[in-house]
Amino acid sequence: MTPLIKIEKLTKSYNNLKVLNKINFGINEGEFVSIIGPSGCGKTTLLKIIGGLIEPTTGKIKVGEEAARIALKKRKFGFVFQNPVLLPWRNVVQNIELPLEISRDKNFKKTSRALLKIVGLRGFEKYYPNQLSGGMQQRVAIARALIFEPSILLMDEPFGALDEITRSQMNSELLRIWKKEEEKTSTIIFVTHSISEAVFLSDKVIVLSKRPAKIETILNIDLPKQRTMKIKNSKKYYDLIKCLTKILKTN
Amino acid sequence: MLNKNIKNKLRKFTLPIVFLVAEILVWEFLTWILKIPDYLLPRPSRIIFEIFSQFGFLLKNLGITMSTAVSGYLIANLLSFITAVIFTHSKTIEKGFYPQIIVLKTIPILALAPLLILWFGIGFVSKIAIVSLVCFFPLLVNTLKGLKTVDEDTLAMFRSLSASKWQIFLKLRLPSSLPYLFSALKISTALSLIGAFVGEFISSNAGLGYLILSYTRTFESSAAFAVLAMSSLAGVLFFGLIAFIEKKIVFWQKPS
């Protein structure tokens, strides 16, 4: 199977500061891939390059058959950032529908009503962001990212600002949403700081070294496809966390 | 629910009103006991009497002053907004003009006012020009700041949606500038009255500024105080109106 996203010898420098150094990897359709690494190593930069928001200095990035920049224009990506970045003067529905207003494209619109159901926020249509908790705000952000039914969801530490309990809840929710969307087999690329989050969610974890970041390891997470809270008690889960911790420590 | 709301509001006003009444009583008592002449510091009862006996006349002059202040205020709003929008869209224009604007801002309005009267005549127009000039700078600076202070993450989100410059302006910059804009709008209410008074001080034959000047020249202090009371009432109402509009429009901002 040819990978959906192909990255070859990708390098990114800002002035003289080399951030990413000869990155190579591929991501298959429908995969949940996490990117983990020390802070400031360029995870976000890599994600933004994949999403076509930043151009690489050298190297190639292909999404399907096209350059990332083109894929962005064709709305192949949904973005979720660390902050929910909701507009405080718009209510939940208006926030979710912002992408529609900007693209003026009514064709492949998923109704905000359906999206609210998916993210578990029915009944909150008319609420304003400052009336919602952090977790709920991030749900709105996820709904907004899903409105064009993107084939690739790019998430940059989306739950990093949440408390541990909410975070774990949102992890399960995200898997549920992802599974629900699975007939469309959306691919998720997920940047995180949290080792346990990466193991629990992913099919594959890409470990970056410190700056200038290269790929340290790509770890396959061979846990059962169906991730439930029970997995968190399994030996395999612990072993994988230990293994990842060791890799991150030595590097 | 409504009753409780009204009660809360009343409670908020009780203390200031009690203090005000007490002060007026002390003032009345002291001016009477110390036999302070009326032209130096008139008794509150005289001032209140003055307000009521001349109410129609005062109101007419208040109208003249306020129409100057409000027209100048609106013109300054429009001009500063257009300038701010142009500046945010062109760095070159902003960098070229900003220093001049700062320099212009440092010239006291009292120094410029006679010139404006020379240019625009002694009528309504020169006074409006003075008011606009006083209000212009704080409005421009704040609107500019508001249009530029946009959350970086939100901007990245708009870019990820391939939003155009115009869409970013309309859907992001403009609404996020509103809190800044309104704080300038509130400051400018007082400035607009100052501008109107300056204009009337220099040349006019009507309006509250003119009245104050002519009453103090003839030592009719109680009448001058009545004018003062009217102008401060107008200032408070003007400010209150803008604050009310702010609350309706910038509803997402917690009052500071």
Of B153, B161, B254, the CB nearest to A83: B153
Chain-centroid distance of CA B63 in Å reads 15
| pLDDT range class, residue B31, cuts 50, 70, 90 | very high
B79 vs A129: CA distance, rounded Å: 33
**Which B residues 172-211 touch A at CB under 8 Å?**
172, 175
- Contact at CB, B160 and A77, closer than 8 angstroms: yes
User: Amino acid letter at B58?
Assistant: L
Q: What is the largest CA-CA distance in chain B?
A: 76
Mean pLDDT (whole number) for B87-101: 90
β-partners of residue A156 are A191
pLDDT at A212: 85
pLDDT, position B178: 93
Banded model confidence at residue B204, pLDDT cuts 50, 70, 90: confident
d(CA B147, CA B181): 9
Nearest residue on chain B to A80, alpha-carbon basis: B157
> Is residue B256 pLDDT above 80, yes or no?
no
Q: Does B247 touch chain A (CB under 8 A)?
A: no
Question: Is the confidence at residue B1, as pLDDT, over 60?
Answer: no
Please check the confidence at residue A108 and state whether its pLDDT lies above 80: no
d(C-alpha A143, C-alpha B128), whole Å? 51
pLDDT tens figures, A205-230: 999 888 888 888 898 888 887 788 88
For A51-82, how does the pLDDT look when each residue is reduced to its tens digit (9 = 90+)? 998 889 998 898 988 888 888 888 889 999 88
Q: Mean pLDDT check: name the lowest of A143-157, A168-182, B7-21, B34-48.
A: A168-182
Q: Which residues pair with A23 in a beta bridge?
A: A10
| CATH (one of 2.40.50.100, 1.20.140.10, 3.30.830.10, 1.10.3720.10) for B49-249 | 1.10.3720.10
> Which of A146-155, A217-226, B240-249 reaches the highest mean pLDDT?
B240-249
Half-sphere exposure of B171 (CA within 13 A, CB side): 24
Q: What pLDDT is attached to residue A232?
A: 84
Answer left, alpha or beta for residue A52, where phi above 0 means left and psi between -120 and 50 means alpha. Answer: left
Closest CA to B153 of A111, A202, A87, A201: A87
Count of other CB atoms within 10 angstroms of residue B253 = 16
pTM of this prediction exceeds 0.95: no
Question: What percentage of chain B has pLDDT greater than the value 70?
Answer: 98
User: Is A231's pLDDT higher than 60?
Assistant: yes
Q: How far is CA A184 from the centre of its chain?
A: 16
Cβ neighbours of B173 in A, within 8 Å:
none
What's the average model confidence in pLDDT over B96-116?
Answer: 89
Residue B69 has pLDDT above 90, yes or no: yes
The reported pLDDT for the residue numbered A141 is 93
State the burial class of residue B85 (Cβ atoms within 10 Å of its Cβ: 0-12, 13-18, 19+).
Answer: middle
pLDDT for position A107: 64
In chain A, the residue whose alpha carbon lies closest to the alpha carbon of B179 is A89
> What ipTM, to 2 d.p.?
0.83
What's the gap in Å between the CA of A231 and the closest CA on chain B? 34
Query: CA B129, CA B5: separation in Å to the nearest integer?
Result: 43
CB proximity A82 to B under 8 Å? yes
Domain ranges of chain B: 1-36, 49-249
Interface residue B96 vs chain A (CB under 8 A):
no
Residues of B within 8 A of A53 (CB-CB) are 156, 159-160
Predicted pLDDT of residue B60: 95
CA proximity to A98, closest of B234, B57, B244, B157 = B157
Band the pLDDT of B122: cuts 50, 70, 90. confident
3-state secondary structure A174-226: HHHHHHHCHHHCCEEEEECCCHHHHHHHCCEEEEECCCCECEEEEEECCCCCC
